[in-house]
Amino acid sequence: MRNAPGNGEDEVVGRIQWKRFAALSVPGVALTAALGVALSSGALAASFAVSGQQFKVSADSLTGKGFAQYGSIDTNAREELLPVAVTAIGEAKLHNLCQSVVTTLPVIGDISLNLTAGKKKPVEATNLFVDAAQLSGDAGFNNIEIGRDASTLDKGPEGAQGMQDLFGQQADDVTISNLEQVAWATNAGTFKLSGLNMKITKGKKECF
């Protein structure tokens, strides 16, 4: 049964009140549009399509100058959206770096790729961006600002800003000991790995 047209009430078709449905769908449409604009303008972390595999990174310590952190989105080749916490550091040094990723192949099983560096001389990076799903360690900051609008961050490297109205934090410098993180992607202007050693082995062998 349909209401008579022109009576000012919601038209009901197939038991859906279309005016109410439209009102409820507006926030979702607006969010999708905002994500599209952000992706096209480069405001999100999706500078390239990430792989379908996360990787683990650990270090005895990380010291950095110019720290910023904010939430963002990565995309994979299927254009799926992956929430991440972006950690951006202008100049970073990492002692005893380990990076690992495990791939499971048919018949063969697990294959591990392990990379280590910085055991004697620290790994050095500039304009470092890490899109992480998890991060832990013992951290210390100087002149930290917590809860700043992510679009106004200005202590990290160039481009280290998130979307307007979203949470962000920044500091003059950061130190993290016993660093462990799970990440989707890493970008850096320069990345110098002293004592680099890479191995591929059968089985599961991870940094932590």
Render 16-57 in DSSP notation, one character per residue: EEHHHHHHHHHHHHHHHHHHHHHHHHT-SS-SSPBPS--EEE
pLDDT at site 79: 87
pLDDT at site 18: 47
156-to-4, 36, 110, 180 alpha-carbon distances in Å: 61, 25, 38, 21
Contacts of 157 (CB under 8 A, 6+ apart): 66, 68, 88, 89, 90, 126, 127, 128, 129, 189
Residue 30 has pLDDT above 90, yes or no: no
Report the chain's terminal Cα–Cα distance, integer Å.
63
Q: Range with the lowest mean pLDDT among 19-33, 43-57, 129-143?
A: 19-33
Tens digit of each residue's pLDDT (9 = 90 or more) over 76-98: 999 899 999 999 999 999 999 99
Tens digit of each residue's pLDDT (9 = 90 or more) over 107-158: 999 999 999 999 999 999 999 999 999 999 999 999 999 999 999 999 999 9
pLDDT at site 17: 53
Tens digit of each residue's pLDDT (9 = 90 or more) over 197-206: 999 999 999 9
pLDDT at site 130: 96
CB count within 10 Å of CB 37 equals: 12
Q: Which two tokens stand for residue 11?
A: 């038209």
Band (191; pLDDT cuts 50, 70, 90): very high
